[in-house]
Structures are given as C-alpha cells and as structure tokens.
Amino acid sequence: MRQEILKFCISLTRQQKRFILLCLDAAAAALGLLLAILLVTGGLSQPYGAGGLAPHVVAAMGLTCVMTVYLGLDRVKLNAYQLSSLLNSSSIGMALGAAAMLVDKMAGGLLPFGVFPVLSMVFLIMTVGARLILKAVLMQIYKQQKMRKRVLIYGAGQTGQQLAAALATDIEVQTVAFVDDNPALQSLRIGGLTVYPPADMDHLLRSKAIDTIVLAMPSVSQSIQGRIASRLKNSGCDVHILPSFADLVRPGALARQIPPVRLSDLLGRNRMEDELPGVRDTYTGRNILITGAGGSIGSELCRQLLQAGPARLILLDHCELSLYRITQELAEISGPVDIVPVLGSVCEASLVRHTLAAHDVEVILHAAAYKHVPLVQANGIEGLRNNVLGTKVLADAARAAHVERFTLISTDKAVRPVGLMGCSKRLAELILQDLATRSTTTQFSIVRFGNVMGSSGSVIPLFQEQIARGGPVTLTHDDVTRYFMTLSEAVRLVLVAGAFSRGGDVFVLDMGAPVPIRKVARQMIEASGHTVRDADNPNGDIEIVVTGLRPGEKLHEELLIGSDMLTTPHPKIMRAQESHLSEIEMASLMQSLRLGIETRDMDSMNALLRRWVERAESGSETQDVATKIDPSRIA
C-alpha cells in the first residue's frame, strides 16, 4: 500500500499537486463554516437550514481559492511550508471571517457574531493541520524507501541548531543526536534531539550507527576544531567541519568551491580501496621507516599504517615544514605508537645507516622522490641524484642492516620514459631488481601506478585553480591520456604489495582504461556550474587551451614494459615479469652515473640513459633543458 501511495505521489504533475492543495483549502473553508456555526449555536440555524447556507459556503470556497492562488500557497511545497506560509494562511482565515460576516449581513444578519472569528480560527487549524499531516505521511513513506545517512552534530549552539533544522527536511539524512562540551546543555533536548557529553561519543557511535559527524562550532579556534576532528578520524565516520551560516554570505569569506568530479567517471572503473585485503599482520608491532613522509603519498601511508598498530613509525623527509606538519598531525592520533621524525635526505649514507640501526628498522616504504616532470626535466642532475643515488644508498643500507621488507613507490612514467623524471624512476627500479637477485634477508619490491588524484603537482588541483580564476584551463595536448587512482587506493596498493612480496616483484594495479585529460577538464568545468567555450559554444564561460606537450612528457602512459604478468592473491593486482640488468652491468651503470652527476656532465648522462634505459619510440632525446624551458609551463 505504501509503495502504491509513493508511486502515485511521484507521478503527480505540478498542476495536479496545486489542484489538490486548492481543494484542501476550499474544503477547509466550507467545513470550517459549518463547524463554526455548530460550535457557536449548537446546531444549524433554523432560518438557514442546509440550503440557506449555500451562499455562505460558495462565497467562502471562492474567496479561499482566489486568495490561495494570489498568495501562492498552492505553489509552496509541503517540505517548505514554514512561518511565512503560516502567516499567509492566517491572512486567508481573517479575510474568510470578514467575507462571511459581509455575506451574512447581506442575507439578513441572522448568524451570531461569534461565528466569524471562530470560522477564522477553525479554517487556520484545518488548513495548516492538513498540510502538516500530508507532509508527515509522505516523509514517512519516503524515509522507509531509502537507507538514510545517520548524522551526529558536535556542537548544540546556534549553528548546530540551524543545521539540525535544515537537515530535518532532507529525506536522505537523519540527525540522531547532539554532542556538546557545555555542561549546561548536556542532557537537554533541543529540536527533539538529546544533547550528550563528549564522554559518551564511543557509545553513541556504536549504539546509534553514526555515519557522519559534523563539527558545528565555528566560534571556537581552528586548533580546537582540528584536535577534535583528528580525535574522531579513527571513528570510521566521515568528519566534516561546518562554518557559521553568517560566514557563508560574508563577502570574500569563502571562495567558490568546485564540486568534485564523480570518481567513477574519472577513474573509468570502480574504486577499489575497500576491496583490497587486510594487511595488518605484515605491519603490526614493526618498526617502519617511511621516506618522503611529509609528501602526499608518504603522509597517507603514515595515517593508514597507524591503523595496523606498528610499534614505531620513523618519518624521514628533507623538507622541514612538511616533516613538522605530519609529525604534529600524527602526534594527536598515534596513541601508543612511537613517532620519530628524522630531518634529512636519503642521499646521506651516514644518516640512513644511523637511522636504520638506531631504530631497528624492519620495514621500509620508500616514497621520497622528485616527481614533478617539468622541474626534474629542468634540473636533471639533481633529479638523478635524489631519485637514483638516494634509492641506491637506502637500498644498500637496508640490505646491510637486514631490513625485512623494502618497497619502492614507482610511477607509470618509468615505463619506456621520454623524460628525466621517468628515466630516474626506471633506474631506481633497476637498482632494486638487481639487489633482489642477491639479497637473502631483504625482500625488495616495486609498486607502480599512475597519477594520484589530489597529490601535489597533479592535474586536478591545477584545473581547480584555473577554473576558480575564470580560466582558461590549459591542456598540453588534445589526445593526452592518463591513468588515475585515488590517494587511498595508491597507499593501500603499496601496503598490500609489501604483504605479497617475494623479492624482486613489480606490482601494478588493474587501473582500467586511461582517461582523456580533455574529458577531465570538461567535466570539472561543467561540475563547477560553467560551460566550455569552444567552436560549438562561442559564448561559453571557460576555454580549454592546448599549450603543447612539456619537455619530458608523454602523450600516453603505460604500466607494463613487457607483456608477461602473474596473478597475486588479489584479482586486481598483477605481478609483472620484466627483465633487468646483471650485477656487472648495474655496477658499470652506477659508476658512470656517479661520475656524470659529480661533474654535472649532462651529455654523458644522455648517453648513459640511451644505453641502459629502454625509451619510448616517439620520445625525443633527454637533455638538460634548464636554460631552455619556459617557466610558465612548469605549473
């Protein structure tokens, strides 16, 4: 029965809904008049009888319909029937009483005066009551058809109350409770919701099956909000911070926010971080070193590793600010896990050896690398020093210290590269593949994936900034494509690969089809509420401008060098079978590389890369373009 009512309500047109509301108000006018006479006189007045009241009834119904249409009450949705609509209904009720009194005077004035104010009140009660009952019935039917998101509001002040009132009209959301630090508010009921103390948070999350927590405390400092948000991150709920509603309309207070592109559209496949198997046993109770810990991937590795319960996280980064930020963040949520920040570079052999020995490191996740393609292309010597020699120093130290597992985070740009960044990452892969053949204690593995959405230097934040400025959006080539994955997917892949590793493995993720970057740009422009300006739409808002491929950039990226692949315990993670250099070849390569870096001889570097790195057929010669690159194209 409820399903049939729901289908009937959904199938009604706007005109049909308006007609139903008009009929309700007209019926309320007619019934209100009869009920007012009964209440005041005790029965229908004898001189009128049933037929004698016809002019009054017709006039009442006609006037009600006219005023309802004039005041727009038939166009007000049941969900939006609030104080202003109630005042309009009151106006109709008073006009109805006055009109009924005028008609009665014209007909001889036989009804008592008390009938007319009672008519106004009865009409108001009936028309408002009818709408509220309809709204309650329909809301209940809608709610039973959907899985509603359960929301807890942290902060029972003015902003929290306004948020609860707004969410009360949303059929997708159910607000279940308030939490507030103020003892004066605790145990009170506000808007039908109980206010709990923060000490009850864990019990509330379990007993009320909370999906989302909204911090509605704009008056407290950002540091306090941040501490509360950090404390709630491990609750398993989505945590959001809400500004005050006054801030939303304050000039310049909030920049225009671009809605995110749907991940399913952008990735070309389903997200899979929830599909990956658990990896807790591999990292529980271990001393783990994360290099590049302050970067996008490094910091997310730290966050997810905390959930596995390691004994110690050693954070190595050469950027003081990045290291400080991730250390402060983890300190709030680390619990019994020991957090050790180490400021320095992986190129410093003495620092690396001391760190591994002092903290008895058992697992290394190597995320430290220069990865911005144009910048590395413009600074090739330093890119090779950091990405290649740094990996060699760390890997050799790990082998000497008998570290159990070493995982290198690589990139699809290492497959048949055309630029220095890709070449440097491929050389780093070759170093690990060589060491894996000679190591009996350390399991070396490589994880290779595409672009991580939202990471520093990625195309998504760049497009967001360009759209916020009003364009144009810059595209390097009309046909350029890239593989995409989310940050949480990338990190889960790294952690799972570490658990699957048997030594010398190259793991890749089944990332679906590569995504055209022009499609991404168009989706983001349209998601922001703008239109694309092109030949078909010359009056559009934002133009997509093609600037040409930057130095070291490929038109299409690849994930595999060869075609041979092996399966893993997870169907969407593959183990690539790829050739590598011999120990003698590797020693010769590293000797020439060190010499070229120390003498800053880019010509010898180009010759070295042409000899040892399999390059893309369409790629141009790698060269030191520090003095040739256009700085405006680095972004």
In which band, very low, low, confident or very high, does the pLDDT at 401 lie, cut at 50, 70 and 90?
very high
pLDDT at 120: 83
pLDDT at 258: 46
Instruction: Give the mean pLDDT of 119-125.
Output: 84
pLDDT at 435: 92
Residue 67 pLDDT more than 90? no
Instruction: Give the mean pLDDT of 369-396.
Output: 92
Q: Which of 36-50, 412-426, 523-537 has maximum average pLDDT?
A: 412-426
- For the chain, the straight-line distance linking the first and the last C-alpha, in angstroms and rounded, comes to 60
Residue 159 pLDDT more than 90? no
pLDDT at 628: 38
Q: Which of 213-222, 326-335, 530-539 has maximum average pLDDT?
A: 326-335
In which band, very low, low, confident or very high, does the pLDDT at 439 lie, cut at 50, 70 and 90?
confident
Instruction: Give the mean pLDDT of 14-23.
Output: 79
Instruction: Give the mean pLDDT of 543-555.
Output: 77
pLDDT at 431: 93
pLDDT, averaged across the chain:
79
Instruction: Give the mean pLDDT of 397-419.
Output: 90
pTM: 0.59
Gap between the Cα atoms of 190 and 160, Å rounded: 10
pLDDT at 110: 67
CB-based contacts of 67: which residues, under 8 Å, 6+ apart? Answer: 91, 92, 95
Lowest mean per-residue pLDDT among 392-396, 444-448, 484-488: 484-488
Instruction: Give the mean pLDDT of 310-338.
Output: 92
In which band, very low, low, confident or very high, does the pLDDT at 631 lie, cut at 50, 70 and 90?
very low
Q: Which domains does the chain have, with CATH numbers?
A: 2-144 (no CATH), 149-254 (3.40.50.720), 280-633 (3.40.50.720)
> What's the pLDDT tens digit per position in 368-382?
999 888 899 889 999
CB-based contacts of 458: which residues, under 8 Å, 6+ apart? Answer: 451, 452
Instruction: Give the mean pLDDT of 81-94.
Output: 74
| Known catalytic residue at 413 | yes
pLDDT at 571: 72
> What's the pLDDT tens digit per position in 457-509?
677 778 888 888 888 888 888 888 887 777 877 788 788 877 777 777 888 87
In which band, very low, low, confident or very high, does the pLDDT at 327 lie, cut at 50, 70 and 90?
very high
pLDDT at 5: 60
pLDDT at 635: 44
Q: What percent of the chain has pLDDT over 90?
A: 20
pLDDT at 460: 76
Instruction: Give the mean pLDDT of 112-130.
Output: 83
pLDDT at 192: 84
Q: Does residue 74 or residue 384 have the better pLDDT? A: 384
pLDDT at 8: 66
CB-based contacts of 135: which residues, under 8 Å, 6+ apart? Answer: 78, 79, 81
pLDDT at 223: 66
> What's the pLDDT tens digit per position in 175-201?
889 998 888 888 888 888 899 998 888
Active-site residue identified among 77, 105, 143, 413: 413
In which band, very low, low, confident or very high, does the pLDDT at 634 lie, cut at 50, 70 and 90?
very low
Between CA 191 and CA 229, with CA 202 as vertex, the angle to 5 degrees is 80
Gap between the Cα atoms of 412 and 485, Å rounded: 12
Residue 142 pLDDT more than 70? no
CA distances from 372 to 349, 379, 611, 632 (A): 24, 11, 24, 14
In which band, very low, low, confident or very high, does the pLDDT at 353 lie, cut at 50, 70 and 90?
very high
Among 250, 240, 24, which Cα is nearest to 126's? 24
CA distances from 258 to 250, 290, 467 (A): 18, 33, 8
Residue 56 pLDDT more than 80? no
Report CA Rg, the chain: 35
> What's the pLDDT tens digit per position in 267-299?
555 555 544 455 677 888 999 999 999 998 899
H/E run at residue 196 = strand 193-196
Tokens matching residue 49 = 């009888």
